[in-house]
């Protein structure tokens, strides 16, 4: 990366910025201690080995579904067209959680689809309708600029006040003097609502993509559709509503207020607020887990019998639902509220990955936590890590400090690569950089191939980036999808291959390229600010 690509502030400005940012570390401490690892118990393995992951249901609900209900999407355009089609077809509920809603033509089309759907529901039912729209965004990101997510949604809220709810989550860590001093855009570094889930009746789209034009055109992400999955749709509806209940509610006059009886996120007592939020979210997780355990008992899914019998042998009777071949586990991470489920499960998956297993891990922002790095470097599985080349980083070419962020990621990548080389792990841990001309890269997640298998049996997909922010600052959600079905395994394998095919292997010569040059001040500042991006 050449220095001419960016406009940098003066050295004095950077000195001030460094002191300012480093002080944030003192003002936003960790709320909970290091998380213990789960221990996966021994269990009966089918040929694909999927059932070794049933330990996850000890902490979260397990949703068994048919693989025929799962569709893996591959492109931003496909994602956008599906969003519009699902909105238009919705009859009962639309639930959308995202970091923000953009303000361009494509985003306006989405809003128009929502308006058309709501209008149609009123005409069909008379003066009232049971159809509800619930939208959850981040307060700071959704309020940035004069035209923003809020102004985009106000017409809907004013026209359909009984049907539309817009909730704006505000991190409890941004408060007091800190909230007054940090300017717009930089205030987003303290903590965000980062969950991305798009739900229409009983259909759920899980993704890392936001509701913005680049995510609909040339910003590569991942997307999975779960069709006709009412239990999963109910869970994410309840989760979004729980977060919405502890969030600021957008009013028709563009003001915000809390639901009566709820503690304010930055004006009220922080500990009380976080305890209340923890209770609301954990009620959703635990009640869903209890419901699913009861369902398992009814369908013999959690019996102690041999899981390796065929579906036909176990479910020959007419009225019994066929045994599922795919399981979905929602993994929630909200460290500000003391909820660390995703961190626990991810660390355990990395720990338990056996010799000969292959882990394909991808992130648009390579900034792994120390715990994840230690597990990757210290365990036995093979890793292929896909990350963004500087040119496809979303901050590439930005002005000011933001324009230096790709260089900071290069520096972090180089440090990790040097550690891999020092440990002699180059053959077991490989880095690959994604590049596609005119595109940016935002895909995140993981595919796990068991030893001796050519297909993955597990994937993680959702909002987390495996970095410090995802673990400690933001609200995150992803799902672990485990499948025994070879057709779905082929879909996941093809998804992984398509992403990795657009990448080049990282080697020592990679960091000798002019585009990988990192200025000294970036190297000095990066350790101080790496926990904020």
In a domain, 346, yes or no: yes
- Give pLDDT, residue 16: 42
Range of the domain at 403: 54-62+324-530
445 and 460 Cβ atoms separated by less than 8 Å: yes
Is the pLDDT at 29 greater than 60? The verdict is no
CATH assignment at residue 441 = 3.30.870.10
- Give pLDDT, residue 312: 52
For residues 372 and 514, membership in a common domain is answered with yes
Distance CA 362, CA 365 (A): 9
For residues 497 and 375, membership in a common domain is answered with yes
In a domain, 506, yes or no: yes
489 and 456 Cβ atoms separated by less than 8 Å: yes
In a domain, 23, yes or no: no
In a domain, 290, yes or no: no
In this prediction, residues 185-209 reach a mean pLDDT of: 96
For residues 394 and 247, membership in a common domain is answered with no
Report, as residue numbers or ranges, the catalytic residues: 194, 196, 201
CA 31 to chain centre: 21
In this prediction, residues 320-326 reach a mean pLDDT of: 80
Among 281, 315, 342, the domain-final residue is 281
Of 50-54, 97-101, 521-525, least confident by mean pLDDT is 50-54
Integer CA distances (angstroms), 480 to 56, 176, 345, 446, 483, in order: 9, 38, 9, 9, 10
Residue 31, classified by CB atoms within 10 Å of its CB into exposed (0-12), middle (13-18) or buried (19+), is middle
Sign of torsion over alpha carbons 501, 502, 506, 509:
positive
For residues 237 and 354, membership in a common domain is answered with no
For residues 477 and 328, membership in a common domain is answered with yes
For residues 346 and 226, membership in a common domain is answered with no
For residues 367 and 456, membership in a common domain is answered with yes
In a domain, 227, yes or no: yes
Is the pLDDT at 3 greater than 70? The verdict is no
Among 246, 281, 316, the domain-final residue is 281
473 and 372 Cβ atoms separated by less than 8 Å: no
3-class DSSP assignment, residue 433: strand
Could you tell me the end-to-end alpha-carbon distance of the chain, in angstroms, rounded to an integer? 19
- Give pLDDT, residue 136: 98
pLDDT band at residue 313 under the 50/70/90 scheme: low
Domain count, the chain: 2
Dihedrals φ, ψ of 493, to 5°? -65, -40
In a domain, 440, yes or no: yes
3-class DSSP assignment, residue 246: coil
Residue 7 or 212, more confident: 212
In a domain, 457, yes or no: yes
Count of CB atoms within 10 A of residue 59's CB? 17
Of 15-24, 162-171, 212-221, 317-326, least confident by mean pLDDT is 15-24
- Give pLDDT, residue 42: 35
Residue 50 or 366, more confident: 366
For residues 228 and 91, membership in a common domain is answered with yes
For residues 337 and 405, membership in a common domain is answered with yes
Distance CA 39, CA 311 (A): 29
For residues 344 and 232, membership in a common domain is answered with no
For residues 95 and 58, membership in a common domain is answered with no
- The per-residue pLDDT for range 394-419, each reduced to its tens digit, is 777 666 777 788 899 999 999 999 99
- The per-residue pLDDT for range 109-156, each reduced to its tens digit, is 999 999 999 999 988 877 778 999 999 999 999 999 999 999 999 999
pLDDT band at residue 47 under the 50/70/90 scheme: very low
Is the pLDDT at 36 greater than 80? The verdict is no
What share of the chain in percent tops pLDDT 90?
A: 78
Residue 294, classified by CB atoms within 10 Å of its CB into exposed (0-12), middle (13-18) or buried (19+), is exposed
In a domain, 470, yes or no: yes
Distance CA 377, CA 380 (A): 8
3-class DSSP assignment, residue 430: strand
Is the pLDDT at 41 greater than 70? The verdict is no
For residues 114 and 138, membership in a common domain is answered with yes
Residue 322 or 431, more confident: 431
């Amino acid at each position: 990366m050449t220095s001419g690509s960016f406009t940098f502030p003066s050295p004095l400005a950077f000195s001030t910025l460094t002191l300012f940012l480093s002080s944030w570390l003192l003002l936003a401490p960790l709320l909970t201690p290091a998380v213990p690892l789960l221990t996966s118990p021994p269990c009966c393995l089918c040929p694909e080995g999927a059932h070794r992951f049933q330990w996850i249901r000890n902490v979260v609900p397990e949703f068994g579904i048919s693989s025929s209900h799962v569709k893996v999407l591959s492109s931003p355009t496909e994602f956008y067209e599906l969003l519009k089609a699902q909105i238009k077809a919705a009859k009962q509920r639309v639930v959308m959680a995202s970091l923000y809603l953009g303000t361009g033509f494509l985003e306006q089309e989405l809003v128009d689809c929502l308006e058309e759907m709501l209008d149609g529901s009123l005409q069909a039912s008379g003066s009232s309708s049971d159809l509800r729209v619930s939208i959850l965004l981040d307060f700071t990101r959704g309020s940035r600029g004069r035209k923003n997510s809020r102004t985009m949604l106000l017409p809907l809220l004013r026209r359909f006040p009984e049907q539309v709810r817009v909730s704006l989550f505000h991190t409890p860590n941004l408060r007091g003097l800190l909230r007054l001093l940090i300017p717009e855009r930089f205030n987003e570094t303290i903590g965000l609502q980062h969950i991305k889930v798009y739900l229409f009746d009983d259909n759920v789209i899980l993704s890392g993509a936001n509701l913005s034009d680049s995510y609909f055109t040339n910003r590569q992400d991942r997307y999975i559709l779960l069709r006709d999955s009412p239990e999963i749709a109910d869970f994410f509806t309840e989760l979004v509503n729980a977060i919405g209940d502890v969030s600021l509610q957008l009013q028709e006059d563009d003001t915000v207020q809390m639901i009566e009886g709820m503690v304010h996120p930055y004006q009220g007592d922080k500990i009380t607020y976080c305890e209340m939020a923890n209770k609301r979210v954990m009620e959703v997780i635990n009640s869903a887990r209890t419901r699913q355990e009861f369902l398992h008992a009814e369908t013999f899914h959690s019996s102690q019998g041999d899981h390796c019998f065929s579906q036909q042998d176990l479910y020959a009777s007419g009225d019994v639902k066929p045994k599922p071949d795919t399981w979905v586990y929602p993994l929630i991470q909200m460290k500000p509220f003391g909820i660390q489920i995703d961190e626990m499960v991810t660390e355990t998956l990395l720990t338990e990955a056996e010799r000969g297993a292959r882990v394909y891990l991808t992130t648009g922002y390579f900034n792994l936590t120390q715990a994840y790095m230690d597990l990757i470097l210290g365990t036995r599985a093979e890793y292929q890590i896909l990350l963004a080349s500087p040119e496809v980083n979303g901050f590439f070419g930005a002005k000011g400090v933001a324009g230096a962020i790709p260089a900071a990621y290069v520096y972090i990548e180089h440090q990790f690569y040097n550690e891999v080389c020092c440990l002699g792990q180059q053959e077991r841990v490989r880095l690959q950089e994604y590049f596609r001309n005119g595109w940016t890269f935002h895909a995140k997640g993981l595919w796990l191939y068991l030893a001796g298998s050519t297909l993955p049996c597990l994937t993680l997909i959702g909002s987390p980036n495996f970095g410090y922010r995802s673990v400690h600052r933001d609200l995150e959600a992803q799902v672990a999808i485990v499948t025994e079905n070879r057709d779905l395994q082929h879909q996941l394998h093809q998804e992984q291959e398509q992403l990795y095919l657009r990448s080049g292997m990282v080697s020592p010569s990679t960091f000798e390229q002019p585009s990988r040059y990192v200025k000294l001040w970036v190297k000095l500042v990066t350790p101080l600010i790496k926990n904020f991006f």
